[in-house]
Structure 1
Amino acid sequence: MYRPHPFSWIPACGKRHASADTKPLGGYPNGFVVATLCRHQLPADNSDVAWLWETCPECNVKAHELAGIPMPKGGTR
């Protein structure tokens, strides 16, 4: 599976988080517990609505660091 960065995005507990865990083919199933870049263990939520949730600010900062891409000025989202 193609993975351009050492993390994947996954909705969990009301926000879109990033995880460095190995992503199963087809994505993380609902309820699958992932270790997030913000240092939590959270159950995945693959519902359509969950992908529209706000991005976890801490995961976003760490994902930008891992990708080598500076954060946009004026925010962490």
Structure 2
Amino acid sequence: MYRPHPFSWVPGAEQRHATIDDRPPGGWRDGETVTTLCDLSIQAETSELAWLWDTCPDCNAAAHVLAQCPMPPPAGAR
């Protein structure tokens, strides 16, 4: 399976998290346990609404490091 980065995104625990766990074909099923880049063990949620949750800031920072892409400056920063 093509994976452009060494991580994937998965909603759970009321946020979107990143993980380096192997993503199953077709994605995670509801309730599957996933270890996140912020060191949580979460239950995956697959609803459309879950993908609209806020992104975990710790996972976001770790994902940017793994992608070798610097974090953008905060909104309104000069």
TM-score by length of 2: 0.94
Q: Deviations over 1:30-66 (max 9, x none)?
A: 0000000000100000101000000000000000000
User: CA-atom RMSD, angstroms?
Assistant: 0.8
Alignment correspondent of 2:66: 66
Alignment correspondent of 1:8: 8
Structure 1, gaps ≥5 residues long: none
Alignment correspondent of 2:27: 27
- Greater C-alpha Rg: 2
Query: Secondary structure at 1:62's aligned position in 2?
Result: helix
Structure 1 CA distance for aligned equivalents of residues 50 and 70 of structure 2: 26
Letter in 2 for 1:32: E
Displaced runs of 4 or more, over 2 A: none
Structure 2, gaps ≥5 residues long: none
Shift, 1:74, TM fit: 1.2
Q: Percent of pairs identical after alignment? A: 53
Letter in 2 for 1:50: A
Structure 1 CA distance for aligned equivalents of residues 7 and 43 of structure 2: 16
Letter in 2 for 1:59: C
